[in-house]
Amino acid sequence: MTDERIGRIHDEIRQYIESELAAVSSDTMVVAPDTAAELRDVYAGELRAGEELQAEVGEASGGEGLGGNVGSSDGVGSGSQGETGLRSETGPSDGVGSPAEADTSGGAGTPAGTGSPYERSTFRRRPVREVAKSIAMAAPVPVATAVPVPESAPVAVSTQANASSPVTMSMPVAPPQVPAGPVSEKRLLDAVREGLRQSMQHHAQLILMGQDIAEYGGAFKITEGFLEEFGKERVRNTPLCESAIVGCTLGLSLEGYKSVMEMQFADFVTSGFTQIVNNLAKIHYRWGQKADTVIRMPTGAGVGAGPFHSQSNEAWFMHTPGLKVVYPSTPEDAKGLLIAAINDPNPVLYFEHKMLYRSISGPVPEAYYETPIGKARRVRAGEDITIITYGAGVHWAIEYAEAHKDISFEILDLRTLLPLDYEAIRAAVGVTGKVLVLHEDTLTGGVGAEVAAWIGEHCFALLDAPVLRCASLDTPVPFNIELERNFLAKSRLDGFVRRLTAY
């Protein structure tokens, strides 16, 4: 090959580059800025793109609420994340968007046309019946038609959005709409197992990974018997490599597989943190690739297990756009939400409270059904105080309400922390005007901070008292059972209720 030949190759490539550049027409090509100011225009161009995106999201979701979930919020409803490209992800989404801004003055619990805080006295003591009516009107419609059915079998949908008994006691509201068919009493642990097993039967491409989940059946025996039923290829023991295994879930997703990874304890998720918050959460926003996986998070305190086996860390993930975070408190929801999480093409953090595994039982439909992600559940209707909570807090609230029949409690189980069900929160606030947000996680920067801030910002006119937060102490979780009892929010619940009733 002569120098002349080499020169020709160079010329050919140079011409190719120039012709491709010419195809980047001058109106999209940023005009030669040679100064710092002009250089900034390049980035302003990026910012404009972002602003447009926010506008699209605002339009699609009808206002505030979904902005934090740009890029990965379309799971329930479209079921096609990753295939639809970057723009469509901001389209009309999953029906969990909050009401339009105008709703602040005209939505549930507020007379239409008002909105000025000065008018609050006109509705601060609305008859409960009127409020209940508006809540009923605001109640979410069943989403059966919107649920993605990944394979072919039909998915029943539990639409018990209006109320149900998680465990026991008489409820003044209608029974849950559960899928037709037999219902049996199950512990929360068994419900998680059943949801997982039915999902494995439903999705041939679903892979389970986790430490000791195969022969041993998992630290909490959730996957006991799975190895025999589904084989070692799909039920995989892993080395102690949390980060690599979360990475594996993403790699599997690239090739069209679904996966559920079991963190042995939610505390250990820190060892896979980057993979979750930077890879899983952002990949669809960045270049339209889905991360079709569920991370199971056995969480919570109450059993004297000390700082590294007791933490509540859901708030870390609630603060991460691109993830979904669910946290069931009842066996029925545990099964339905796990199935929904697995069917959802987005990355979902699924929290399951270790203390509730064997202490909580309830009716669970035997069918394969979804509990919709992004929908809170009205646990009971009341008139005096609203408790907004999730996880173990739901049971603390019910127990407290049962022991204090002189106070009428409205209790809302959030069930999904990201995206939050703002509509249900607004309705629950409107019923009593006195709100306590209760959770097991520590106080500062917790889920309650976000919920309370949102209520203050959007439901101020509905309030008759400051929104209070009852949470655990801002310390690590202590080992000694008495110290742990003192640490947990439950030990201070009575004081917070007393403060609210005084208003």
Q: Which residues from 196-235 bind another protein, rule CB under 8 A?
A: 207, 233
Stretch that binds another protein, among 240-248, 359-367, 376-384, 449-457 (CB under 8 A): 240-248
Task: Tokens 């963190």: give the residue.
Answer: 263
Stretch that binds another protein, among 144-152, 283-291, 396-404, 490-498 (CB under 8 A): 283-291
Q: Does 251 bind another protein (CB under 8 A)?
A: yes
Rounded to a whole number of angstroms, the minimum distance from the CB of residue 280 to another protein is 10
C-alpha separations of 465 from 51, 156, 224, 411 in Å: 36, 41, 49, 17
DSSP letter assigned to residue 25: -
The HSE-up count of residue 208 (CA atoms within 13 Å, CB side) is 30
Q: Does 243 bind another protein (CB under 8 A)?
A: yes
Q: Does 252 bind another protein (CB under 8 A)?
A: yes
The active-site residue out of 202, 203, 309, 395 is 309
Binds another protein by CB under 8 A, chosen from 69, 72, 98, 253 = 253
Task: Tokens 């105080």: give the residue.
Answer: 385
Helix, strand, coil % in the chain, rounded to nearest 5: 45, 15, 40
| Chain length of the chain | 503
202 contacts 149 by C-beta, under 8 angstroms: no
Three-state secondary structure call for residue 66? coil
Beta bridge partners, 296, equal 262, 350
Binds another protein by CB under 8 A, chosen from 145, 172, 239, 482 = 239
Rounded to a whole number of angstroms, the minimum distance from the CB of residue 225 to another protein is 21
Rounded to a whole number of angstroms, the minimum distance from the CB of residue 242 to another protein is 8
Rounded Cα gap, residues 503 and 501, in angstroms: 5
Binds another protein by CB under 8 A, chosen from 238, 299, 312, 343 = 238
Rounded to a whole number of angstroms, the minimum distance from the CB of residue 274 to another protein is 5
Q: Does the annotation count 309 as an active-site position?
A: yes
144-181 CB burial, b ≥16 within 10 A, e <16: eeebbebeeeebbbbbbbbbbbbbeeebeeeebebbee
Q: Is 415 left (phi over 0), alpha (psi -120 to 50) or beta?
A: left
Q: Does 279 bind another protein (CB under 8 A)?
A: yes
Binds another protein by CB under 8 A, chosen from 275, 299, 311, 472 = 275
Q: Does 16 bind another protein (CB under 8 A)?
A: yes
Residues within the interface to another protein (CB under 8 A):
1-2, 6, 9-10, 13-14, 16-17, 20-21, 23-24, 28-30, 32-35, 38-39, 42-43, 45-46, 49-50, 82, 86-87, 207, 233, 236, 238-239, 241-257, 259, 274-275, 278-279, 283, 285-289
